[in-house]
Structure 1
Amino acid sequence: MAGSRLPQQLFLQGVAAAFLFAFASLYTQIPGLYGAEGVLPARRTLRPRGQGRWRQLWEAPTLLWEAPLLGLDTAQGLELLSLLGALLALGALLLRPLRHLLAFLLLWAAYRSACQVGQVFLYFQWDSLLLESGFLAVLVAPLWRPPHRKQAKAAWGLPHEDLPFWLVRWLFFRLMFASGVVKLTSRCPTWWGLTALTYHYETQCLPTPAAWYAHHLPLWLHRLSVVATFLIEVAVPPLFFAPIRRLRLAAFYSQVLLQMLIIITGNYNFFNLLTLVLSTALLDDAHLAGHSRRRRTPASCSKTLLDSLALMLELGVYGLLAYGTVCLFGLEVDWEKHSVESRTTFTFHQFSQWLKTVTLPTMWLGAASLAWELLTALWRWTQVRGCFPKLIAASELCIVGTTTVAMFIVSLVPYSYVEPESHSRLWTGAHRLFDTVGHLQLTSSYGLFRRMTGVGGRPEVVLEGSYDGRQWTEVEFMYKPGNMSRPPPIVTPHQPRLDWQMWFAALGPHTQSPWFTSLVHRLLQGKEPVIRLIQNEPARYPFHQHPPTYLRAQRYKYWFSQPGEQRRWWRRQWVEEFFPSVSLGDPTLDSLLWQFGLQDKSPPRARNSTNSLAQSLHWVREQLLPLDPPTLLWGLLAAVVVIKIFQALWGHRPARPSQLAPREEKPQLSPKKDSGSARKQATPSPQSSSPRSGASRRRK
């Protein structure tokens, strides 16, 4: 594989951007989610157990254990971590010196600390993906930078610099391959019937306006899109390790196409951005620089033969993919209807047998690719000149190589979850190593869109409040579907975590979502931080002047409106009561709070109003409070783009005449035979540059 310094820089910048959006989005929701008056106060998750300090930190890895030392409670410490994480991520995104190992280690530790107290609101796969990508960024980021790149490459050498970046490619493979496989192993009839996308656009958590238009595409195109999804997620990922560069680039652009379509039709916060960031592991410096790797020299016969063989192999791979897709999904062109018919021609048993056959070989494929990277790094080490530089390079290669191999072995355990027999046959040492570091979330299992929900209609929970128990008013959320005349919003890269959990709550009874009882309790108490999760402007909340006396929740089924219906994006039908009507002091409510352990047995400690750090956090919160979270994140994104443009323009500005090096002129020696006169004329003036002085001395 060609050099990957530019892709590594793109990867580090992309991870920094993902951390920026994740921290900034979380910061806006901390008081309502984790504050003392929030839905799930974070202080209840950190209870000292009488263990030693380091033992406690190892079992519950979070920096928030140290918040009391700063005079802060857990929620305030989480706010401080989020602010500092966002600022550090912004700096790493804009300034190359901050793309340092220690910077990404701090970002990973801060987000791991937040996930430790985040409870159900931070249990998403993209949070795990960000933690794993952030830890890989720690390994990819340099610990030190040589003063001059060319001198470093020639004298010191960096034989290990591509090894950690290979782990990014392996993570990208595991993410995409597992996401494609679980759709079929789940036995979901919509995936097997190729009809999943006829439901996906309207039943996903937070659709965009484009999802309405995608939903009304022809049925045959939806089915063909499912076939393309299986092709991109199951058949293409093994090409990530292909020795032919064009195959890897073709795999890269297919993944980019899939992620861009998801971004257009759904609000998935920083997840798709992070997936695109992982895809940079398939690129190389030559492709990003915009020129071919081939040199303009006459090709030898052996080189021409190798190129011809590579081209034949490449065409053979494309032909095999096309033939397999046509046969496995029965693709036929209907010229009369101007459509492409498709159907699944294999059975679940056949797919299970195929998965048993390929799971372990894909692990060996990853091991072989890693072995090639290790051999390449070892060969680069042999090119290092000098004993001391060679010794330093050897120590770095041993440390980085051992870490890379260990991370690969640990990742095999969650990857093997896609096939139970392969999981049981995996080396026991890998299981022991994974059990040792599993609580740090260095690696995780993935599998997106396992089953398609909402086949009979999108389930949606609608809160209703009342003062007298007879006239009920709906409580409308900012982002999730509610008002049938309001278009779906665009909130990416913000993730409204309460709205997301409302989507999951609608899939089952309210007892499966204990936090919902706490939400009802806080709204009956009229807690402003929780109200701001529902409406950022309290005036839009129907009970902003006085909390409702009664609250209840109804379950509806929502569908996208038909093209003929004007001024309506949704249509709905009532299904059943989701949560009974309750009020403060109601035995039903108190019983549920006690059952789920949501009653505060001890009141929160009084905040120290004289703490300058707490006052500073409160002041920052007050300044940012009027801003809508998506507006805040879009503002950050716009600021980053503007600064990047200025950096690009400043970096490519033409040099001033005074900055140009003076043209070197050869000293003119006098034709006289007087050697002293000749030496005097050949002597450079004090204003001459050092290269000119060197040339004069060499001529002398």
Structure 2
Amino acid sequence: MALLRYTRDLFLRAVCVVYLFAFISFYVQIPGLYGDNGILPAKAVLENSKHKTFADKVHYEPTLLWIASYVGLDTNYALDLLALLGSFLAFTGFVSQKFCTIPLFAGLWSLYFSLYQVGQVFVTSQWDDLLLETGFLCLLVAPLIPRKPRGLKVSPCDKINMWLVKWLLFRFIFSNGVVKLISGCPKWWDLTALSYHFEAMVLPTPLSWYAHHLPLWVLKLTAVYVQVAELALPFLFFIPVRSVRVTGFVFQIVLQMFIVLTGNFSFRDLLTVALLISLLDDNFFYKIRNAKNKSRIIPNLFSVVLHLAVCYAVYLLYQFKYNDKVGELDVKINFTKEQFNLGLQYAVITATFLGSSTLFMTILQALAKSANEYSGAVKYGNIAKTVLFAGIALVLFSGGLVPIQSLHKGTNTTIQTPQRTIYNRLHKLRAINEYGTLFNKATGVNGRPEIIIEGSNNIEGPWLEYNFLYKPGNVNHSLPFVAPYSPRLDWQMWWAATSKYQKESWIMSLAHRLLDGRPEVMALLGPSPFPKAPKYVRASLYSYKFAPQTEKYSWWRREKVGEYFPAFTKTAPALVDYLVARNLLPTPSKEAINPIWKQILEAIRLATNQLEGTLLLWSVFLAGCIVIATSTKMK
């Protein structure tokens, strides 16, 4: 039975790094997004609660913000405190393994879930859900107390808990692959989706421009790799052959590397890499002493044969043909939508069988280890502990089957009522989630939609544009690397461009804050074109396309599509009434604040405001690396 001690520890510290990035990103944007003068004040969420008693509020809308008034804080300062406390806990887990225990991860999960509860539209991206579900699993993976000295036996439950991490990894990757084809998107079916993907993604990187201009045959082959890596290879995660899982790890790491280089997807890809650690064992990182010498010829041969079979299946499922006329390789999908639909049903059934069988085998191995390698009270204690964790694993597996079985209408009808109950209750806590609903169709086929907000002191103009820090605007501005920082306003502007402003209450709130000249909100944008707040604000919808390779000084070409929202003044009845109806007008806080808390939190805020968000994030990470390096040298 392969050891998972070092692997488990590495996974826990990697999750702490992701938590660190997530909390710092959230903290930087609190005043502009959730403060009293922010776009979507968090206190409005609490004030709009229909529950009167404290117990009901905590039960139906659980968040630590409910206790803010009891510790001398208002909602704004409480948000700061929660984000700072989360950053501190994540930093301690990052720099020292001995802090990676259940109490620390309970604190991290509770704090991030509390922030998530008031995040509203800005936390609808799937990586917030993925982080909360991963953090919930860390409560099972992490030890109760600091790890024992190296050389002592580890818990038999580690195998069960790390299996749950692998099950989450499978669900996440497989779901993201399936939805691309079941959506019926013609661009994914003819393998040309990547011809538009890099241009139309929410926040492109500088390398997105170069990826977009790759030859079509390269992009098509890449699309095949994406489909195979997301649809077929995840099933190999459960093969009980170490070399197969290691190979699967390599294939997925390659995919994540390309995603990181060509797209700013916040901390999602780093979190995916952390989950991929579950495919490894301690022997991947160092040779275990006193390990029995076992022949690897048969497992390695099996791995080669298995991957050759996958390659042959790819050859059958995709038609590869060299076009002599253009001198390029062409590739097409060689199966119909009906065949895929039938295959998906069998795939879901296979996933259910592989998941249940390997989980039961893992539980039996853990029970055998508890019974055979221990004696006395320790033996019975480990057996009882294994039975407890096995029961929890079975519950989580059963609930996690719901989003997988829901992928096909044939298997959706087989979901039992107890399964749905488990899923619904755990989903409320974001402990089990559905993935793959975002980016299931190729967007921006005719150019990426982009909202350009303009201000003026005269209705006749001139109108000056507001530039954002990270999203496309000025066609000559270079594209930034942002991830793992998460600029939630820039991200949400992309989604607003695919909708109508009447359905996006937050963008009306943003317009009002610009007319009011709120510095908290202005800090989320680039330098203002106005010394003071403008009298009028309007927004236009543009279509952006990457500039051709022949243009040396422009990244984009754009064309105006039309009006997004009309010109408003600060006191325009249509704007004011719209915001009043949604309790989004800025109002001063009436909550009492402890002056000591206020002084401390304002001092920290003043210090952190000196650094731009991504620079602050990487500065803290670098500080953690220095702490680790210096502490290692001192040992």
Instruction: Give the TM-score category using the shorter length.
Output: over 0.9
Post-superposition CA distance 1:117-158 (Å, at most 9, x none): 1100011100000000011111100012465454x42xxx62
Alignment partner of 1:159 is 2:156: yes
| Per-residue CA distance 1:185-205 (angstroms, 9 max, x = gap) | 001111011011111111111
Deviation at 1:449, TM superposition (A): 2.5
In the TM superposition, 1:677-692 aligns within 5 A as none
Q: Does 1:126 align with 2:127?
A: yes
The 5 A counterparts of 1:43-122 are 43-47=43-47, 49-122=50-123
8 Å contact kept, 1:559–1:570: yes
Report the counterpart of residue 262 of structure 1 in structure 2.
Answer: 259
- Equivalent of 2:504, from 509, 513, 519? 513
In 2, distance between residues paired with 1:594 and 1:484?
36
Q: 1:109 to 1:523 in 2, by over 3 A?
A: same
Task: Render the CA deviation track for 1:567-603: whole Å, top value 9, x for unaligned.
Answer: 1111100000001011022122124324545346xx4
Query: For 1:503, which of 494, 497, 507 is the aligned residue?
Result: 494
| Residue-pair matches, total | 632
**TM-score, structure 1 as length reference:** 0.87
- Contact 1:494–1:630 (CA<8 Å) still a contact in 2? yes
Q: Which residue of 1 aligns with 2:451?
A: 461
Judged with a 3 Å threshold, the aligned counterparts in structure 2 of structure 1 residues 148 and 562 are, in CA distance, closer, same or farther, namely closer
SS, match of residue 286 in structure 1: helix
Look up the match of 1:561.
Answer: 547
1:542 to 489, 504, 529: 529
Contact 1:286 1:292 in 2 (8 A): no
Q: For residue 224 of structure 2, what is the aligned residue in structure 1? A: 227
Per-residue Cα deviation, 1:70-103 (whole angstroms, up to 9, x for no partner): 2212221111000000011000011111101010
Pairing of 1:87-486 with structure 2 (within 5 A):
87-145=88-146, 147-150=148-151, 152-153=152-153, 158-289=155-286, 295=292, 309-334=298-323, 339-447=328-436, 448-470=438-460, 471-486=462-477
Which residue identity does 1:400 align to in structure 2?
Answer: F
> Does the residue aligned with 1:340 lie in a helix, a strand or coil?
strand
Contact residue 74 and residue 592 of structure 2 kept, 8 A: no
Q: Secondary structure at the match of 1:429?
A: helix
Residue 632 (structure 1) aligned to one of 574, 591, 616: 616
Q: Aligned pair 1:587/2:578, yes or no?
A: no
Offset of residue 438 of structure 1: 2.5
In the aligned structure 1, how far is the partner of 2:287 from the partner of 2:563? Answer: 60
**8 A Cα contact 1:286 1:293, kept in partner:** no
Matches of 1:610 and 1:639, distance apart in 2 = 31
- Cα shift at 1:290: 5.5
CA distance in 1, matches of 2:104, 2:297: 46
Shift of 1:341: 1.3
Sequence identity (%)? 37
| SS state at 1:29 partner | helix
Distance of 2:135 and 2:592 partners within structure 1: 34
Deviation of 1:634 (Å): 1.4
Change in 2 beyond 3 A, CA 1:331/1:572: same
* Alpha-carbon separation, structure 1, partners of 2:354 and 2:30: 43
Amino acid of the structure 2 residue aligned with 1:479: Y
Equivalent-residue separation in structure 2 for 1:50 and 1:340 (angstroms)? 63
The alignment status of 1:645 with 2:632, answered yes or no, reads no
Q: Is the 8 A contact 1:239 1:251 kept in 2?
A: yes
Aligned in 2, Cα 1:146/1:327: closer, same or farther, shift over 3 Å? closer
Deviations 1:256-303 (A, max 9, x none): 00001011111112110000000000001111115799855xx7xxx6
Distance 1:63 1:490 in 2: 33
| CA distance in 2 between partners of 1:482 and 1:291 (Å) | 54
Does the CA contact (< 8 Å) of 2:44 and 2:583 recur in 1?
Answer: no
SS at match of 1:343: strand
Aligned residues of 1:38 and 1:522 also touching (Cα < 8 A): yes
Match for residue 620 of structure 1?
604
Paired with 1:138 and 1:500, the residues of 2 have a C-alpha distance of: 30
CA distance in 2, matches of 1:391, 1:262: 47
Alignment-mate amino acid for residue 87 of structure 1: F
- Give per-residue Cα distances to partners, 1:26-84, cap 9 Å, x unaligned: 10000000000000000011135455433321211111100111221222111100000
Deviation at 1:309, TM superposition (A): 4.7
Task: Determine the C-alpha separation between the residues in 2 that align with 1:320 and 1:648.
Answer: 45
Structure with larger RCO (C-alpha < 8 A, sep 6+): 2
Say which SS state the counterpart of residue 43 (structure 2) adopts: helix
CA distance in 1, matches of 2:23, 2:179: 30
Partners of 2:563 and 2:392 lie apart in 1 by: 54
Distance 1:121 1:407, change over 3 A: same
1:213-239 deviation digits (Å, cap 9, x = unpaired): 111110100011000100100010000
Q: Residue in 2 aligned with 1:552? A: 538
Q: Given the alignment of the two structures, is residue 42 of structure 1 paired with residue 42 of structure 2, yes or no?
A: yes
Secondary structure at the aligned position of 2:524 is classed as helix
Question: For each residue in 1:377-413, what CA deviation from the matched residue of structure 2 results, as whole angstroms up to 9, or x when unmatched?
Answer: 0110112433211222122212222111111111112
Distance in structure 2 (CA, Å) of the matches to 1:49 and 1:531 = 32
Aligned to 2:4: 4
Change over 3 Å in CA distance of 1:34–1:59 after alignment to 2? same
Cα 1:78–1:146 change in 2 (3 A) is: closer
Shift of 1:436: 2.7
CA contact (8 A) 1:609 1:615 kept: no
Task: Summarize the Cα distance change of 1:7–1:308 in structure 2 as closer, same or farther, 3 Å threshold.
Answer: closer
AA aligned to 1:371 is: F
- Residue segments in structure 1 that go unaligned for 5+ positions in a row: 652-700
State the partner residue of 1:578: 564
Tell me, yes or no, if the aligned pair for 1:59 and 1:439 is still in contact at 8 Å: no
Given that residues 73 and 593 in structure 2 are in contact (C-alpha distance below 8 angstroms), is that contact kept between their aligned partners in structure 1? no
Q: Is the 8 A contact 1:17 1:89 kept in 2?
A: yes
Pair 1:13 & 2:13 matched: yes
